[in-house]
C-alpha cells in the first residue's frame, strides 16, 4: 500500500461529480487502496512549515478547510451565558466525591436552549482539581445510579421524536451508562468529572436544528445552516466550550487542566472541540472512527459515503459532496488530530470495532506526529500498531483493547494514567 504526503490541492482543482451510491463496507486490509495524505506541515502554496513559529499560520489553513468542507463554521458571536446552580456541592453516595449540578442557559430566556452539567469532585482534596469533560448519550441520570441526579426529560423527548418512545419510566434509565463513566475511578485518581447530555445542545436528528442552539444564530428567516455552517458535531463541540466557560468560574476545578473526552460520534466531537478551542489542555478520542481519528482515504469500515448518507446533519452540507470521493477532500483525519498540537492527545480503539477502523485510528495518530516533532516532541512513539492491551504513548497516546465499540474501565485506566502524567497529578 502506497502512502505518501503532499500539499492539499486547491478547491478549484477538485471536480465535484454527481453523487454515487455507497459501496459495500470493506474489512479486508488487502483491499485498502493506495492513497496520498495531505501534509500537515506544508502550506497550501506548497512551501514547507519549517519552525514552530510557522505552525499557527498552517494550523489556521487546516482549520479553515475542516470548517468549509467537514464540520462547518461555528458562529463568531457568543450568547450571553447564565449559570444557575441547581444543587451546590453535596456529598455523593460512597463518600469519595462531591456532586454538583449546574444549568447553563445559552440565552436570556428561561425557556431558551440550555444544558444541565453534572459535576463530581474528589472529596477531601486541597486546591483545584483537573477535570475530564465529556458529553453523554442518555442524559446525566444515566451516568451514575446516584438517585439525586436530576432526570433529563429531553432524552425522553428525543426518543419520542425519533419514533422510539420509551416503553419504561425515565427513572429506569438511571445508571444505564454508568459502566462508561467510571466516576469512582476518576475521582479516586484526583480528577473531577463534568458531563452533559448532548441532546440538550442539539437533538441528534435530521430535523432538529430549530430545537437547539442553531436557532439562536439564525439570520433573516433562516431555517437551516448554510452549506458551510456548523452541523450537529459543530454544535456539540461549541457546547463543550460553553461548559468550559462555566468550569473557568468553578472554584473547585483547574480550568487550565481540562481534558475533553468523547466516545464514538462524541469522540469526533471531542477532537473538533480541541481543534476549535485551544483552552482544552488535552483531548481523548475513544472509538471515534470515520471523521474522527481514522483516516478517511483508507475506505475501511465506515466511509464518507456511508456516514454522510446515515447522518448528514452531523456535518456541514458541503461535506456531502465527498461521498465516494475521499481523495477529493482537501483534508484527512490525521490533520484533525494535529490541530491539537502541541497539546497531548489520546486515541483509543477496540479490536472488534472494525466499523471504526482501529488501524486507521492508529495511523491517524501516527501521521499527526510530525507536527509534535516540529515542536521537539515525540508525538506517537511507535510506528507499528501495538498489540492488544499494550498502550504506547508520549505526547500522543494509543491503545487497542479487546472487545467492542464501548468505553470500559480499561480505557479509563489508560486515559487517567495519560492525563495524570501530562497534568502532573500524583
Express each pLDDT in 361-411 by its tens digit. Answer: 999 999 999 999 999 999 999 999 999 999 999 999 999 999 999 999 999
Distance CA 174, CA 172 (A): 5
- The DSSP code for 386 is P
Is-contact 330 352, C-beta < 8 A? no
Q: What is the pLDDT of residue 261?
A: 98
Cell triple for 261: 473526552
Q: Sign of the C-alpha dihedral, residues 357, 361, 364, 366?
A: negative
Cell triple for 158: 428525543
Q: In the predicted model, is pLDDT for residue 107 greater than 60?
A: yes
Residue with cell 469500515: 301
Cell triple for 111: 425557556
Give the residue among 406, 151, 320 at the shortest CA–CA distance from 143.
151
| Chain segment 181-194, per-residue pLDDT in tens | 999 999 999 999 99
User: What is the three-state SS of 70-108?
Assistant: HHCECCCCCCCCEEEEEEEEEECCCCCEEEEEEEEECCC
Is-contact 129 190, C-beta < 8 A? yes
Residue with cell 447530555: 197
**Which one of 107, 241, 405, 420 is the catalytic residue?**
405
- 235-241: average pLDDT: 98
Of 56 and 1, the structure prediction assigns the larger pLDDT to 56
Name the CATH topology of 82-340+353-371.
Rossmann fold (3.40.50)
- 79-90: average pLDDT: 94
Confidence of residue 14 (pLDDT cuts 50, 70, 90): very low
| 232-247 and 265-276 helices, crossing angle to 10° | 60
| Chain segment 349-367, per-residue pLDDT in tens | 999 999 999 999 999 999 9
Distance CA 313, CA 204 (A): 8
Q: In the predicted model, is pLDDT for residue 317 greater than 80?
A: yes
Q: What is the pLDDT of residue 126?
A: 81
* 192-197 sheet: strands from edge to edge: 82-91, 97-105, 114-122, 192-197, 129-136, 253-263, 282-286, 345-350, 396-401, 392-393
Q: In the predicted model, is pLDDT for residue 12 greater than 60?
A: no
Distance CA 139, CA 128 (A): 26
Cell triple for 17: 461529480
- 13-23: average pLDDT: 41
Distance CA 395, CA 281 (A): 12
Q: What is the pLDDT of residue 94?
A: 87
Q: What number of other Cβ atoms are within 10 A of residue 171's Cβ?
A: 9
**Distances in Å between the alpha carbon of 305 and those of 23, 66, 70, 150, 212?**
8, 17, 13, 39, 26
Distance CA 17, CA 380 (A): 37
Cell triple for 231: 452541523
Is-contact 374 310, C-beta < 8 A? no
101: Cβ contacts below 8 Å, ≥ 6 apart: 85, 86, 87, 116, 117, 118, 119, 140, 149, 150
Residue with cell 471523521: 291
Is-contact 118 149, C-beta < 8 A? yes
Distance CA 90, CA 88 (A): 6
Q: In the predicted model, is pLDDT for residue 169 greater than 80?
A: yes
Q: What is the pLDDT of residue 2?
A: 39
Distance CA 302, CA 286 (A): 16
Confidence of residue 22 (pLDDT cuts 50, 70, 90): low
**Which one of 97, 235, 264, 349 is the catalytic residue?**
264
Q: In the predicted model, is pLDDT for residue 87 greater than 50?
A: yes
Confidence of residue 252 (pLDDT cuts 50, 70, 90): very high
Is residue 107 annotated as part of the catalytic site, yes or no? no
- Cα 111–chain centre separation: 28
Q: Which has the minimum average pLDDT: 112-126, 291-305, 345-359?
A: 112-126
Q: What is the pLDDT of residue 362?
A: 98
Q: What is the pLDDT of residue 287?
A: 98
For the chain, the average pLDDT equals 93
- 5-24: average pLDDT: 40
Indicate the SS3 state at residue 230. Answer: coil
- 126-147: average pLDDT: 96
Is residue 214 annotated as part of the catalytic site, yes or no? no
Is-contact 195 104, C-beta < 8 A? no
Confidence of residue 23 (pLDDT cuts 50, 70, 90): low
Q: Which has the minimum average pLDDT: 12-21, 71-80, 292-301?
A: 12-21
Half-sphere exposure of 6 (CA within 13 A, CB side): 11
Is-contact 151 230, C-beta < 8 A? no
Q: In the predicted model, is pLDDT for residue 20 greater than 80?
A: no
Q: In the predicted model, is pLDDT for residue 56 greater than 50?
A: yes
Q: In the predicted model, is pLDDT for residue 288 greater than 90?
A: yes
Domain ranges of the chain: 82-340+353-371
Q: In the predicted model, is pLDDT for residue 17 greater than 70?
A: no
Distance CA 79, CA 285 (A): 28
| Chain segment 264-280, per-residue pLDDT in tens | 999 999 999 999 999 99
- 78-91: average pLDDT: 93
- Cα 288–chain centre separation: 8
Amino acid at each position: 500500500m502506497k502512502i505518501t504526503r503532499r500539499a492539499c490541492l486547491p478547491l478549484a482543482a477538485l471536480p465535484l461529480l454527481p453523487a454515487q451510491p455507497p459501496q459495500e463496507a470493506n474489512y479486508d486490509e488487502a483491499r485498502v487502496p493506495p492513497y496520498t495524505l495531505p501534509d500537515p506541515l506544508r502550506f497550501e502554496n506548497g512551501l514547507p512549515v519549517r519552525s514552530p513559529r510557522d505552525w499557527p499560520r498552517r494550523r489556521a489553513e487546516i482549520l479553515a478547510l475542516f470548517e468549509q468542507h467537514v464540520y462547518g463554521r461555528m458562529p463568531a458571536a457568543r450568547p450571553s451565558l447564565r449559570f444557575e446552580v441547581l444543587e451546590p456541592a453535596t456529598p455523593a453516595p460512597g463518600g469519595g466525591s462531591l456532586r454538583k449540578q449546574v444549568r447553563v442557559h445559552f440565552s436570556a430566556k428561561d425557556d431558551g436552549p440550555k444544558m444541565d452539567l453534572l459535576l463530581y469532585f474528589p472529596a477531601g482534596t486541597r486546591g483545584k482539581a483537573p477535570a475530564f469533560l465529556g458529553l453523554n448519550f442518555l442524559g446525566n441520570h444515566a451516568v451514575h445510579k446516584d438517585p439525586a441526579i436530576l432526570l433529563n426529560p429531553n432524552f425522553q423527548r428525543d426518543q419520542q421524536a425519533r419514533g422510539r418512545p420509551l416503553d419504561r419510566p425515565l427513572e429506569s434509565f438511571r445508571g444505564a451508562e454508568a459502566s462508561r463513566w467510571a466516576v469512582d475511578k476518576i475521582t479516586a485518581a484526583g480528577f473531577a468529572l463534568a458531563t452533559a447530555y448532548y441532546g440538550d445542545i442539539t437533538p441528534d436528528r435530521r430535523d432538529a436544528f430549530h430545537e437547539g442552539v442553531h436557532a439562536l444564530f439564525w439570520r433573516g428567516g433562516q431555517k437551516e445552516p448554510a452549506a458551510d455552517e456548523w452541523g450537529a458535531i459543530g454544535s456539540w463541540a461549541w457546547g463543550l466550550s460553553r461548559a468550559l466557560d462555566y468550569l473557568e468560574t468553578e472554584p473547585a476545578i483547574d480550568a487550565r487542566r481540562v481534558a475533553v473526552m468523547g466516545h464514538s460520534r462524541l469522540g469526533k466531537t471531542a477532537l473538533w472541540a480541541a481543534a476549535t478551542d485551544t483552552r482544552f489542555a488535552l483531548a481523548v478520542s475513544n472509538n471515534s472512527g470515520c471523521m474522527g481519528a481514522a483516516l478517511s482515504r483508507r475506505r475501511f469500515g465506515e466511509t464518507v459515503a456511508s456516514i454522510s448518507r446515515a447522518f448528514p446533519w452531523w456535518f456541514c452540507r458541503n461535506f456531502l459532496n465527498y461521498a465516494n470521493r475521499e481523495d477529493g477532500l482537501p483534508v484527512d483525519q490525521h490533520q484533525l488530530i494535529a490541530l491539537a498540537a502541541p497539546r497531548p492527545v489520546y486515541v483509543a480503539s477496540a479490536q472488534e470495532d472494525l466499523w471504526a477502523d482501529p488501524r486507521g485510528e492508529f495511523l491517524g495518530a501516527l501521521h499527526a506526529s510530525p507536527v509534535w516533532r516540529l515542536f521537539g516532541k515525540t508525538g506517537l512513539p511507535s510506528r507499528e500498531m501495538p498489540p492488544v492491551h499494550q498502550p504506547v504513548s508520549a505526547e500522543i497516546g494509543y491503545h487497542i483493547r479487546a472487545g467492542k465499540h464501548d468505553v470500559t474501565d480499561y480505557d479509563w485506566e489508560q486515559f487517567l494514567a495519560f492525563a495524570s502524567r501530562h497534568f502532573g497529578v500524583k
